Amino acid sequence: MAPESPSIVILTGAGISKESGLDTFRDKDGIWSRVRLEDVATPAGFAADPRRVHGFYNARRRGLLDDAVRPNAAHRALAELEQGRPDDVLLVTQNIDNLHERAGQRNIIHMHGELLKARCAACGAVGECPDDLSVELACAACGGVGGMRPHVVWFGEMPLEMDRIYAALAACRLFLSIGTSGNVYPAAGFVAEARKVARAHTVELNLEPSEGASLFHEAIYGPASSVVPGYVAKLLDRD
Ligand code: APR
């Protein structure tokens, strides 16, 4: 059962999965340096060329399912934190990969959706999607053809479970932001929310200062697989 008001809220971004072999978006060799987000991560891009959008996400889904892509020490440390503080941790991820789940994390909100799920634009049904999506695919729920899309939140669309996220931010004592550049709202605004409403202690753990670095009480810079386990160990020892 998800905790009503966890005292620790963690936000993760693409940086936590980088050492597992998944690309980030805005690093110099990131995904948006190779493909225009307007073409593949907006409703207009999907309407204009659904085959291109399916091709983009099909390639990322196959990449995620590659045996070489596994949770790293940072994912595992956050799962250990949740196990050590049952009912006291909520992880909100911007990532659409499943590495937090595979590391053993249970209480997760995928605010930008999930790469291994598909949604029918006609009836809204969401289901597991381990294989390629295409415009020829029929919806298992309503039988409609042509409306299947990745269950991923695109720019201009509302992220998922925002009420639950803001309720947790309003009551948390500690807010951690890990592996995100702080470029995309509403996630980039969570640190200000945690400070203003909950007067929480806020910590950024990132490879380098994010756009919102000045908003954090504390910052620890370095690769996630190095800095996150050490920080979690301190939190658990303190208990
Ligand atoms: N360890 C920790 N942080 C890292 C590492 C690493 N090994 N490698 C990179 N980073 C940091 C980068 O310095 C950067 O600040 O991770 C951050 C990644 O930033 P982005 O590429 O912008 O990814 P993210 O913040 O998750 O993007 C947010 O934007 O395009 C949308 O929907 C997409 O969810 C995504 C959202």
Q: How far is the CA of 224 from the centre of ligand 1 (A)?
A: 11
Which two three-digit tokens encode residue 224?
A: 């996630």
Identify the CA nearest to 57 among candidates 125, 122, 116, 144.
116
Ligand 1: which of 17, 20, 27 to mutate, judged by most atoms within 8 Å of the beta carbon?
27
| Residues of the chain above pLDDT 70, percent | 98
Is the pLDDT at 28 greater than 60? The verdict is yes
How many residues make up the chain in this entry? 239
What is the Cα gyration radius of the chain? Answer: 18
Told to judge if 112 belongs to the known catalytic residues of this protein, a careful annotator would answer yes
Q: What is the pTM of this model?
A: 0.97
Please state the rounded mean pLDDT for residues 156-182.
98
Residues with beta carbon inside 6 Å of ligand 1? 13-15, 18-19, 24-27, 30, 94, 112, 179-181, 183-184, 206-208, 210, 223-224
Mean pLDDT of the chain: 96
Is the pLDDT at 44 greater than 60? The verdict is yes
State the pLDDT at residue 239: 62
State the pLDDT at residue 182: 97
